[in-house]
Amino acid sequence: MPRISDVLAAGVRSYSFEFFPAKTEKAEERLWESIRRLEPLHPTFVSVTYGAGGSSRERTVETTRRIAQETTLTPVAHLTAVGHSETELRHIIGQYADAGVRDILALRGDPPGDPMGEWRPHPEGLTHAEELVRLVRSCGDFGVGVAAFPERHPRSPDWDSEISHFHRKCEAGADYAVTQMFFDVEDYLRLRDRLYAQGCRVPVIAGIMPVTHVGQIERMAQLSNAVFPPRLAERLHAVEDDPAAVREIGVEYAARMCERLLEEDVPGLHFITLNNSTATLEIYQGLGLVGTRVAA
């Protein structure tokens, strides 16, 4: 399996897809249908998000294991520090190693229930993602990714602290970053310039979420804190009774963003699929990426 850091270091652009662990049998079927439909696109990696707690966490580990063992895909396991002692985190990292997973996206996570609530680390756990990066590195020969925020992390008081904390994660051993979803390419470019100005050269992969339902506008802005462009929201609301028209506008908007990012020589595009392959496939086809194979 190619290492993501090696692919990026070779100057090969990364394409990747994000899934979340399914809650029901039916949702599991849909998830695997999407994985199988996207597999022939030969993405650089696919990632599986890590839930706030309980059984969804076991499903993340199990889904990532299956991807590693039953598909041709390279999985990246998201892992958060929420509610875990350091010993538990070591155990989960060990489970990933046993399953053949070699890449981990090391995240702090958000307080369960209220993502904007006060962050309280587990008494025997970790406080910042930077520490998780170190922990993963100390547990074996893993590739490690971290999160980046084109609109700044909602709890960061200013850009100086945002960039300096991000820099620390990189110095702790992150190979690359994946951004929070964003809807204005300028935000991504400004973040890239800020990092560059501070001497941070870690590749920052752009997180793209094609909006395919009007309900996602509020939901996603709430979860990610990303500002949704008012003009796009207006266009989507204007056709909200016509699901096909909503989809078309959402997919078209995401495709234009990708085009612009590719012109700007972005190191990678990471599609948040919400376990639905169609929008990602359409964008991929529209950009003429079908059939592009990523060098191993």
Just list the catalytic residues: 18
Angstrom distance (rounded) from CA 184 to CA 1: 33
Instruction: State phi, psi for 15 to the nearest 5 degrees.
Output: -125, 135
Rg of the chain over all Cα atoms, to the nearest angstrom = 18
CB-based burial label for 10 (10 Å; 0-12, 13-18, 19+): exposed
Output the smallest distance, CB 121 to ligand FAD, in A. Answer: 10
Contact between 44 and ligand FAD by CB under 6 A: the answer reads: no
Contact between 59 and ligand FAD by CB under 6 A: the answer reads: no
Neighbours of 93 (CB within 10 A): 22
Output the smallest distance, CB 154 to ligand FAD, in A. Answer: 7
Output the smallest distance, CB 244 to ligand FAD, in A. Answer: 29
The torsion angle over the Cα atoms of residues 280, 111, 175 and 57, rounded to 10 degrees, is -70
Contact between 61 and ligand FAD by CB under 6 A: the answer reads: no
Neighbours of 276 (CB within 10 A): 16
Output the smallest distance, CB 112 to ligand FAD, in A. Answer: 9
Kindly identify the residues of this chain, within the stretch 178-197, that bind ligand FAD according to CB under 6 A. 178-180
Angstrom distance (rounded) from CA 44 to CA 3: 9
Contact between 99 and ligand FAD by CB under 6 A: the answer reads: no
Contact between 156 and ligand FAD by CB under 6 A: the answer reads: yes
DSSP state of 183: S
Q: With CB under 6 A as the contact rule, which of the stretches 47-55, 89-97, 234-242, 274-282 interacts with ligand FAD?
A: 47-55
Contact between 151 and ligand FAD by CB under 6 A: the answer reads: no
Find the binder of ligand FAD among 13, 65, 102, 108 (CB under 6 A): 108
Contact between 109 and ligand FAD by CB under 6 A: the answer reads: yes
Amino acid residing at 147: A
Q: Which residues pair with 19 in a beta bridge?
A: 48
**The two three-digit tokens of residue 81, written as one number:** 């520090």
Angstrom distance (rounded) from CA 33 to CA 12: 28
Find the binder of ligand FAD among 41, 68, 89, 129 (CB under 6 A): 129
C-alpha of 100 from chain center: 20
Find the binder of ligand FAD among 3, 12, 49, 122 (CB under 6 A): 49
Closer residue to ligand FAD, CB minimum distance, 147 or 251: 147
Q: Which residue ranges make up the site for ligand FAD (CB under 6 A)? A: 49-50, 52, 78, 80, 107-110, 128-130, 147, 153, 155-156, 161-162, 165, 168-169, 178-180, 207
